[in-house]
Amino acid sequence: MTRLLMFCVGLGACCGPLLAQVCSQCPPRRPASAKAAWTLLTGGYDGRFNKDCNVNGNCESARFRGSCRRGCTATAQSPFAVVLSCADSRVPPELVFDQGIGDLFIIRIAGNIASTEAKGSIEYALTKFNPRPKLLLVLGHEDCGAARAAVEYQPPKVWPGSPEVFSIVAPIFRAVGDCKDYSGNTCISGVVTRNVQRVLADLNAFKAVQDAKQFDSTFGVGGMVYDLKPKSSLIVVQDPK
Ligand SMILES: [Zn+2]
């Protein structure tokens, strides 16, 4: 298997049939719609990750990171979902959703904010891959440090840090609402949810996203919050639409 893959990758496109034969053992996921893509993600979370899938050997993030999938994606990618998530070390989307190499196009930035660079990456994903990803997911999480910072230093307080970090925190000010207690989980939880809602609104107004919806009526945008605690449920902020 490994030799065949090395041979195929070395030959590139002229080895298509052989590569396709190998890839049939680790086929790329092709959900028919945003809702089907959403189901793949939530199924990976509820059905495997949240049940410690490694215990029973049913972890697809392990199965689909092997030489088969690496060989299949060595010359091209066609991820079925784009994920904008926080950079927090406790929220690795491939593991949380139990997906493999080539399944997800992930943009990670503190606070999962829709920065110019994040939007550029999203536009790239929605215009360059064939087939186009079916879902754009904004993934927030509980206990987000960026959300806490936005509450702690909301105006008129003066930001004490660098302009680089301020550029992360400032967009979250608009999600602070009436939260005054940056040490309280319930208060921060509301900021996290509102931040996801605000980012979704930003992205739904983004031309590349609007174009994707117009081109493919089965494409959709959704948002959720990851709880961090084991055995907890994903919190739906917006079903894909
Ligand atoms: Zn965070």
Are the CB atoms for 81 and 43 separated by under 8 Å? no
Tokens 């206990």 belong to: 143
**What does the block give as tokens for 231?**
């055995």
Dist. CA 48 → ligand 1 center (Å): 23
* Predicted pLDDT of residue 53: 83
* Predicted pLDDT of residue 21: 64
Beta bridge partners of 236: 224
* Predicted pLDDT of residue 7: 45
One pLDDT digit (tens) per residue for the chain, 241 residues: 444 444 444 444 445 555 666 788 899 999 999 999 999 999 999 999 999 986 766 788 888 999 999 999 999 999 999 999 999 999 999 999 999 999 999 999 999 999 999 999 999 999 999 999 999 999 999 999 999 999 999 999 999 999 999 999 999 999 999 999 888 889 999 999 999 999 999 999 999 999 999 999 999 999 999 999 999 999 999 999 8
Dist. CA 162 → ligand 1 center (Å): 18
Q: Write down the mean pLDDT value for the chain.
A: 91
Beta bridge partners of 140: 225
Dist. CA 60 → ligand 1 center (Å): 25
Cα distance between residue 18 and residue 16, in whole Å: 6
Dist. CA 157 → ligand 1 center (Å): 21
Dist. CA 102 → ligand 1 center (Å): 24
Half-sphere exposure at residue 171, Cβ-oriented, CA atoms within 13 angstroms: 21
Dist. CA 142 → ligand 1 center (Å): 8
Write out the residues surrounding ion ligand 1, Cβ under 5 A.
86, 88, 144
Dist. CA 87 → ligand 1 center (Å): 6
* Predicted pLDDT of residue 218: 98
Dist. CA 189 → ligand 1 center (Å): 11
202's CB contacts (< 8 A; 6+ apart) are 114
Domain ranges of the chain: 31-57+75-238
CATH of domain 31-57+75-238: 3.40.1050.10
* Predicted pLDDT of residue 220: 98
